[in-house]
């Protein structure tokens, strides 16, 4: 035997609406309520999941990238480990252009080296061609020939045209500085903010 129950509102014993249907919109609970869902919440048969995407992570492989002395150079981070939305260009512009708006955690690790002596080297993240934070190491008079930097920032992305890139610079004593293998670049969308 099949039974059909037709109601617009289900209330708790105190008279508070716990499920309400109006104009094809179903409201579960009220402001301030906690709603526990046992099982899998679905949207047209597919499980609804919350993920930090779009997201990507890439590293520099296949040899070092030469830089001009004391000149900001875009890091050609060319080998994707993952790219959930195909939003990172790892062969032409070396930039991340997510097509989903929101706040993003963006990070980079830069390996800067040369065969001689560096006096200063830097790592920056750029958004739409403008510098965000910068990480700098100054060797003073002692000099050095290898450094690894890490930098991270949270910024808003509009989901249509905003993009981010990584730039590096080294002030050397005449030898050619390089963006070293192992340099990396990544980002992911923050949820809940």
Asked whether residue 135 carries a pLDDT value surpassing 90, the answer given is no
Does 112 have pLDDT greater than 70? yes
Task: Please report which confidence band the pLDDT of residue 125 belongs to, taking 50, 70 and 90 as the band edges.
Answer: very high
Instruction: Copy the structure tokens of residue 135.
Output: 């990480």
Q: Residue 120: exposed, middle, or buried by beta-carbon count in 10 A (0-12, 13-18, 19+)?
A: middle
pLDDT of residue 180: 85
pLDDT at 127 exceeding the cut of 90: yes
Return the beta strands (E) in the chain as ranges: 9-11, 17-22, 25-28, 42-43, 46-47, 55-59, 65-66, 73-74, 79-83, 102-127, 130-138, 144-157, 164-172, 178-179, 184-189
Sorted by where each starts, the structural domains of the chain and their CATH numbers stand as 55-189 (2.60.120.40)
pLDDT at 143: 56
Q: What count of other Cβ atoms lies within 10 Å of the Cβ of residue 183?
A: 27
């Amino acid at each position: 035997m099949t039974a059909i129950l037709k109601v617009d509102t289900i209330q708790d014993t105190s008279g508070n609406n716990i499920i309400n249907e109006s104009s094809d919109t179903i409201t579960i609970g009220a402001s301030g309520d906690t709603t526990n869902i046992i099982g899998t919440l679905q949207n047209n048969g597919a499980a609804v999941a919350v993920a930090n995407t779009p997201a990507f992570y890439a590293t520099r492989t296949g040899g070092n990238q030469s830089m001009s002395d004391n000149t900001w150079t875009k890091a050609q981070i060319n080998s994707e480990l993952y790219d959930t939305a195909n939003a990172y260009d790892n062969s032409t512009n070396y930039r991340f252009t997510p097509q989903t708006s929101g706040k993003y955690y963006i990070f980079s690790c830069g390996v800067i080296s040369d065969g001689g002596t560096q006096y200063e080297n830097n790592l920056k993240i750029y958004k739409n061609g403008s510098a965000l934070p910068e990480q700098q190491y100054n060797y003073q008079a002692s000099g050095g020939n290898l450094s690894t930097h890490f930098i991270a920032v949270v910024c808003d992305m509009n989901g249509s045209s905003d993009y981010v890139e990584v730039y590096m610079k080294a002030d050397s004593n005449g030898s050619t500085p390089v963006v070293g293998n192992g340099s990396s670049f990544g980002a992911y969308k923050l949820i809940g903010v």
